[in-house]
Amino acid sequence: MVDVPYDAIADIPPAEVAEVELYHPKSWWTQYVFSQDAKFIAIQYSLTASAIGLVALVLSWLMRLQLGFPGTFSFIDANQYLQFITMHGMIMVIYLLTALFLGGFGNYLIPLMVGARDMVFPYVNMLSYWVYLLAVVVLASTFFVPGGPTGAGWTLYPPQAILSGTPGQDWGIILMLVSLILFIIGFTMGGLNYVVTVLQARTRGMTLMRMPLTVWGIFTATVMALLAFPALFVASVMMLFDRLLGTSFFMPALVEMGQQMKYGGGSPILFQHLFWFFGHPEVYIVALPAFGIVSDLISTHARKNIFGYRMMVWAIVGIGALSFVVWAHHMYVSGMHPQFGFFFATTTLIIAIPTAIKVYNWVLTLWRGDIHLTVPMLFALGFIITFVNGGLTGLFLGNVVVDVPLSDTMFVVAHFHMVMGVAPIMVVLGAIYHWYPKVTGRMLHDGLGKFHFWVTFLGAYLIFFPMHYLGLLGIPRRYHDIGEVAFIPPSAHTLNAFITVAALTVGFAQMVFLFNLVWSLFKGKLSGGNPWRATTLEWQTPHTPPEHGNWGKELPVVYRWAYDYSVPGAEQDFIPQNQPRAVRAVHGAGP
């Protein structure tokens, strides 16, 4: 080990990584509307996803009002209720979470974190956003077409999805399928970018095993999404054929209103296979970026290197692979062969192993860390707790014998809201508090942030914990009004009203968050380039917010992994990835 003198930094040769030919905007339109800069596209993605996500949030309030106080709100009838649950689910899972994690965080963070100037195919990246926007517009337009949006449930199971008894049979279902097809086309364009950028545009010294876990999570999730979304594409196209052209891919012979329909012989189960072949990986497409981001938040705010980095990477890859062989655990009640059920229950439970490794590693990262209870850290801790809770009920539901009685009850609703609703949203919010200073140059207001966290976190538990109990009582999901039934005690109705009040309160806290976002943009405390004293490359840009091309004249050079926090003997409690050893040798008070 030879200590290199400090002034050797001046001799660092320019980066040998091939320069991306940057597109420089020539007009106002290409700079602020049809921008090809990944950072700008990320903000476009995030704002669009948040806007449509707000619609889904309002829909959930309407649903809760109906469930908590049935009969009080005359403007919510049974059909509308079904339309609300369908749109709420579809928007939250696909148009909000998938788009935000991959299109939003992926676009912003991948080039910055791997030390690239931009995505490798900026034009395709721009197209990706505009096709996504078109998908969102088509989806939103279903609220205004005759018959309104589809009420088929977010799983869109045939045959009911395209029968006249289901609301939105005229236009709603058609536009929903068209919107999904557009979304998948748009996502594929973006996904190619994320994958190839990680593969080919990493800066010098950035080996795969030096990448922050955020990039690992987003990268693996993108690969999965690229392979899984075609299943939804195929299912959507085939159902569109059934609805519009009278084919019978999924539609069995049916009598509707006394009339024999033209369909015959199709298999609704075929749709379920295709849908869940996409649907289960989708859970991890949302979860893996969350896993990655939360690892970085915990390490940064606990001032400690991530525990078991290698194991974390292997676990991400392992979960990604396993998630393709568990899809039929969503279909235990479809009449499948018992041996199939056994197979899928086994694979489902095996996924718990890499997932548990990740949870242990997060906890062990916190162990004896210098924990700063900043707002991002609070959300990260909230995520771990919520994810463990939601994951444990997943173990119940993964077992066929437990799942069968609980299927289609509120227990399932509570489970998946905990594990893939609240948990990833905690990460999204934590990540926004964490990276907002880089995007805008200003800090979010801390007090409002803490208020936001505590109301959201505690409120989410007040909503979803009691919901498990309702499910155990046997209260079914998707019911507009459960009415007076012998097996449901009056206390269940009181509990439903309580959940509604909690849901509205949590909703109010999100308005405070929105206010904070806008207020801090103008009045927030100036953050400087690296307010969290973090090691990863995005905090080392010459400008904050980073300019077009990210890095000024030369690309950064990476000398170390992403988690050098509290290194013994180092001058500061963090060493940025682009800091060579020489600096520490001279400035550090090494032993």
Partner 1 sequence: MSAIILFMAVIAVIVGWWLSQQRLTAKPWLEEDPIGDFPGTGAMTLPAAKIGLGVFLAVVSSLFALFISAYSMRMNMVDWRALPVPKLLWFNTGVLVLSSVALQWAHVAARRNDVDGVIVGLCAGGASAVTFLVGQLLAWQQLSVAGYFLASNPANSFFYLITAAHGLHLMGGLVALGRTTANVWRGAAMTQVRLSVELCAIYWHFLLLVWLVLLGLLTGWTDDFVDICRQLLN
Give the residues lining the site for partner 1 (CB under 8 A): 2, 4, 8-9, 11-13, 17, 120-121, 188, 191-192, 195-196, 199-210, 223, 226-227, 230-231, 233-234, 237-238, 241, 245-249, 262, 264-267, 270, 273-274, 277, 305, 309-310, 313-314, 317, 321, 324-325, 557-561, 563-564, 580-582
Query: What's the closest the beta carbon of residue 4 comes to partner 1, in angstroms?
Result: 5
Residue 265 or 447 having the CB closest to partner 1: 265
Residue 1 or 518 having the CB closest to partner 1: 1
Query: What's the closest the beta carbon of residue 17 comes to partner 1, in angstroms?
Result: 8
Cα dist. 363→225, 355, 431 in Å? 28, 13, 19
**For the stretch 24-62, what's the b/e string if a residue is b when 16 or more beta carbons lie within 10 angstroms of its beta carbon?**
ebeeeeeeeebbbbbbbbbbbbbebbbebbbbbbebbbb
Query: What's the closest the beta carbon of residue 261 comes to partner 1, in angstroms?
Result: 12
d(CA 235, CA 160): 15
Residue 477 or 581 having the CB closest to partner 1: 581
Query: What's the closest the beta carbon of residue 51 comes to partner 1, in angstroms?
Result: 28
Residue 270 or 402 having the CB closest to partner 1: 270
Rounded CA Rg of the chain? 25
Q: Which of 199, 197, 201, 212 is nearest to 17 (CA)?
A: 201
Query: What's the closest the beta carbon of residue 50 comes to partner 1, in angstroms?
Result: 27
Backbone phi, then psi, for 541, in 5-degree steps?
-65, 150
Residue 280 or 452 having the CB closest to partner 1: 280
The residues, any chain, with a CB within 8 Å of residue 61's CB and separated by 6 or more, are: 503, 504, 507
The residues, any chain, with a CB within 8 Å of residue 168's CB and separated by 6 or more, are: 83, 86, 142, 147, 148, 149, 150, 151, 152, 176
H or E element at residue 63: helix 38-68
Residue 4 or 352 having the CB closest to partner 1: 4
Query: What's the closest the beta carbon of residue 540 comes to partner 1, in angstroms?
Result: 16
Query: What's the closest the beta carbon of residue 301 comes to partner 1, in angstroms?
Result: 19
d(CA 514, CA 256): 47
Residue 274 or 427 having the CB closest to partner 1: 274
Residue 4 or 504 having the CB closest to partner 1: 4
Residue 131 or 499 having the CB closest to partner 1: 131
Query: What's the closest the beta carbon of residue 120 comes to partner 1, in angstroms?
Result: 4
Query: What's the closest the beta carbon of residue 343 comes to partner 1, in angstroms?
Result: 10
Query: What's the closest the beta carbon of residue 214 comes to partner 1, in angstroms?
Result: 15
Residue 224 or 495 having the CB closest to partner 1: 224
Residue 326 or 381 having the CB closest to partner 1: 326
Q: Furthest-apart CA pair in the chain: how many Å? A: 89
Query: What's the closest the beta carbon of residue 429 comes to partner 1, in angstroms?
Result: 29
Residues 37 and 225 sit within 8 Å (Cβ to Cβ)? no
Q: Which of 158, 134, 166 is nearest to 240 (CA)?
A: 158
Q: Which of 218, 272, 231, 275 is nearest to 99 (CA)?
A: 218
Q: What is the DSSP letter of 552?
A: T
Helices (H), 399-525: 400-406, 410-417, 423-440, 446-473, 490-523
Determine the distance from the C-alpha atom of residue 199 to the mean position of all C-alpha atoms in its chain, rounded to a whole number: 22
How many residues appear in the chain?
591
Both tokens assigned to 518:
């806008």
d(CA 449, CA 435): 14
Count CA within 13 A, CB hemisphere, residue 519: 12
